[in-house]
Structure 1
Amino acid sequence: MKNNTDKQSAKEVVLAFINALNEEDFATAGKYLTKEMTFKGVLGSRDGAEAYMSDMEKMKFKYDLKKTIAEDNDVCLFYDLDMGGVTIFGCGWYHLKGGKISSLNVIFDPRPVLEQKKK
């Protein structure tokens, strides 16, 4: 696997990031993020790669990619996301700056997650 993200395409960076998350290699995953990375999702937001990666280490989500669309510094992934007890279909829009992920916007139907929390 390449570690020099400046020479990788945006698609290669995002796919390497997802692969590292799936393998629970959080140290490697974090290297694909800018320090100022922002996350916006249906159930909340995070500012900074450290806060985001801290959450990812706790949740240990698994991504089953269905479709990848890339254009310039933007990559959109459609996936089934195993959230530990519930699997949802979602979409993530990754934007890169300087060869690293600088923002992530995620959309999905939160009802299965909210229903699981009620139990």
Structure 2
Amino acid sequence: MTTTMTAREIAETYFAAWQAGDFETLRGLLADDVDFAGALGTASGIDEALAGLKGLGQALEKIEVRVRVAEGDDVITWFDLCTSIAPPAPTANWMHVDNGKIARIRVTFDPRELLAGFSR
């Protein structure tokens, strides 16, 4: 029997794996040609996306999910991005799942405090 995760379950697994620093699990969730755009940059393809997640992951303390809304293959997660270098940043993440893999991610938040933290 094969079990296919819903887009919501994929999003839940993505955030849990990122918070845990489990990049092997993250790799398994992302499409090879995943397209990422966010407040700190863009990434094309799985290797660039993982590099970005690893980079921010160095300062990541926790992800405090406030709400997650899923409709079909689209999921929006509203969360506080808690890092060791800046106050929590309220963040919105939209992801689109295609054929069981995350194909597109868009993230928005005010990056000023985080950027200042990186420069210290």
Counterpart residue number, 1:42: 39
Tell me if 1:30 matches 2:27: yes
State whether structure 2 residue 100 is matched by structure 1 residue 103.
no
Q: 2:13 aligns with which of 12, 16, 23?
A: 16
SS in 2 for 1:103: strand
AA of the residue aligned to 2:79 = Y
SS at match of 2:85: coil
Match in the other structure for 2:69: 69
Gaps of 5+ in 2: none
Distance 2:119 2:47 in 1: 29
- Label 1:44 to 1:25 Cα distance change in 2 as closer, same or farther (>3 A): same
| Counterpart Cα distance in 2 of 1:27 and 1:118 | 29
- Unaligned 5+ runs, structure 1: none
Match of 2:117 in 1: 116
Instruction: Quote the Cα distance in structure 2 between the aligned partners of 1:84 and 1:47.
Output: 27
The 3 A distance-change label for structure 1 pair 117 and 13 is closer
Label 1:115 to 1:94 Cα distance change in 2 as closer, same or farther (>3 A).
same
The list of structure 1 runs, each at least 4 consecutive aligned residues, that deviate by more than 3 angstroms after superposition, is none
Provide TM-score, normalisation by structure 2.
Answer: 0.87
Instruction: Indicate the percent of aligned positions where both proteins have the same amino acid.
Output: 26
Alpha-carbon separation, structure 1, partners of 2:17 and 2:81: 15
Query: 1:68 is aligned with what amino acid?
Result: R
Aligned length, in residue pairs? 115
Measured after TM superposition, the shift of residue 59 of structure 1 is 2.4
Instruction: Tell me the SS of whatever aligns to 1:13.
Output: helix
Partner of 1:53: 50
Counterpart CA distance in 1 for 2:102 and 2:51 is 16
Does the C-alpha gap of structure 1 residues 28 and 71 become closer, same or farther in structure 2, counting only changes over 3 Å? same
